[in-house]
Each structure stands twice: as structure tokens, then as C-alpha cells.
Chains A and B, each alone.
Chain A
């Protein structure tokens, strides 16, 4: 049980930070003047933030893989959805995105679904 909690904690925290750095890296790459598909593809991986994202998502993958060994896939995968709340807060506070009431309500419903799933599992 303790090992599962540690694995899920690594998977969740690295997923949140990894996704955030992917967004940052992809946005930085968007401003590139390179127009060819391959040029844009490799340009994405030249950005430091994207490399950090790859490192974090690799750690997420390791934690996630371990969690998958310890619990059914239908428990591990939906538990990961608690990352959505933190990500929405990051979008609102760090990226200054407009998050409407409907979108907040949608995220709240997702979280409620996850809680139902967690209690039942």
C-alpha cells in the first residue's frame, strides 16, 4: 500500500509539472520561424523547457508503471485525474487564462467522479 502511494505521488506530481513544461516549451517553439514539418518537430526539442518536460514525464512514467504493477488499470488511470484541479489552478494563476464557471463546474464534476471511483475501489 505504501509503495503504491509513493508511486502514485511521483506519477501525479511529475505529470502536473511535465504537462506545464510541455505547454511552455510548445508555446516557445510556436514562435519559431522554421516552416518545414521536420524543422518544427526537431525545433520543439531544442527548447530547455521541453527537455525538462521530457525528464519529468519520464519520472511520471516510472511512477505510473510501478503503480500499474500494484493496482488495476481502472483504478490507477482515473486516480491520475486529480492532476486536473492543479492544472486548472496553474492555468488561472500562472498562465492568466480565463476559466469560466462552466469550465470550473466541469472540473468539479470530474473530481467528484474520481472520488466516487476511489471510494468504490
Chain B
């Protein structure tokens, strides 16, 4: 019959358990960073394109343009997403080497391109897709170097 009383973990066992959870926590933080970055960028672009460029007297036009920008729902949504991205990013940088986390963030380009195509109706020429795929190959190489555990 199994013993129902759990023995408390020693500090060494706790460290081992935490170190096993680090890759998972890092992966979750990076997914939040990538999705929030892509959605935030597209929301920002969509919101800003709704706000007219300032014209006339700069003393009146610029504050009005700032007010219109900050009261735009898509810009506000983008700011919220970018704050979430910042928190997840700070968390990711605590868990993994700087030289691994920074290039992995480039995977947001593919999601940004897809959202730009389908949400903003921006044309994405074939050569731009090729360039984005090259960037993704580079990101994958950096990811593999992280899996190999060189640090």
C-alpha cells in the first residue's frame, strides 16, 4: 500500500524540479511574447491608419492628433498587448541566455506578415515571403542551438 504522506523535497530536489520546468516556462513566455508582438504591431498599424495626419497650426494640431491616437481603441489594444509582451519578455530573459532569447523573437515576423495580409489587406509580394522564410530558417538554427544546450 502506497504511503499517503508525502515527504518534503530537499533543497537540491527542489532545484532539480525547478530546472526541469525552466524550458517549459521559457517556451510559454516566448509564445506570449511572439503572439503579443504580432497582434500588437498589426493593431497599432490598423489604429494609426484610422487617425488623420496633423495639419494646420502645429500647436493645436499635434496635441489633437496625440489625443485622437490615444483614444483610438485599436491603439489602446496595441498598448495593452505591448505591455503584456514586455512582462513576458522580462520573464523570458530571466530564464534563458540573452543570445538565445533575442533571435527567437524574430519568429513573430511570420505571424505579423500573415496578420498584415489577412487583417490589414497589405500586399505581401512573393520575394518578401522568401525573405521572411530566410529569417525563419535563421531563427530555427538559433532555436536548435538552444536545444543543444550550449549554454
**B132 & A112 in contact (Cβ 8 Å cutoff):** no
Given contacts A44-B90, A98-B150, A110-B138, contact A91 B131 (CB under 8 A): no
Pick the residue among B98, B113, B140, B146 that contacts A74 (CB under 8 A). B113
Q: How far is the CA of A81 from the CA of B136 in the complex (A)?
A: 12
Q: How far is the CA of A103 from the CA of B97 in the complex (A)?
A: 12
- When distances are taken between beta carbons in the complex, the residues of chain A under 8 Å from B42 are 73
**B116 & A88 in contact (Cβ 8 Å cutoff):** no
Chain A residue nearest to B135 in the complex (CB): A113
Min distance, Cβ B142 to any Cβ of chain A, angstroms:
4
Q: Does A17 contact B (CB under 8 A)?
A: no
Q: Convert A63-102 into 0s and 1s, putting 1 for each residue whose CB lies closer than 8 angstroms to a CB of B.
A: 0010011001110011001011001101110010111101
Min distance, Cβ B144 to any Cβ of chain A, angstroms:
7
Q: How far is the CA of A105 from the CA of B150 in the complex (A)?
A: 14
- When distances are taken between beta carbons in the complex, the residues of chain A under 8 Å from B53 are 69
Q: Does A5 contact B (CB under 8 A)?
A: no
Pick the residue among B48, B87, B113, B150 that contacts A103 (CB under 8 A). B150
Which secondary structure characterizes the binding site on chain A? Answer: helix
Pick the residue among A23, A73, A77, A103 that contacts B103 (CB under 8 A). A103
Interface size on A, residues (CB 8 A): 50
Q: Does A4 contact B (CB under 8 A)?
A: no
- When distances are taken between beta carbons in the complex, the residues of chain A under 8 Å from B102 are 19, 83-84, 87-88, 91
Chain A residue nearest to B38 in the complex (CB): A77
Using a CB–CB distance below 8 Å, which chain A residues touch chain B?
19, 22-23, 25-27, 29-30, 41, 44, 50, 57, 61, 65, 68-69, 72-74, 77-78, 81, 83-84, 87-88, 90-92, 95, 97-100, 102-103, 105-114, 116-117, 120-121
Using a CB–CB distance below 8 Å, which chain B residues touch chain A?
41-42, 44-45, 48, 53, 82, 86-87, 89-91, 93-94, 97-100, 102-103, 106, 108-109, 112-113, 116, 120, 122, 124-125, 127-128, 130-146, 148, 150-151
| Inter-chain pairs besides A73-B42, A110-B138, 8 sampled, C-beta below 8 Å | A19-B102, A61-B82, A68-B44, A73-B116, A73-B122, A100-B150, A108-B138, A112-B134
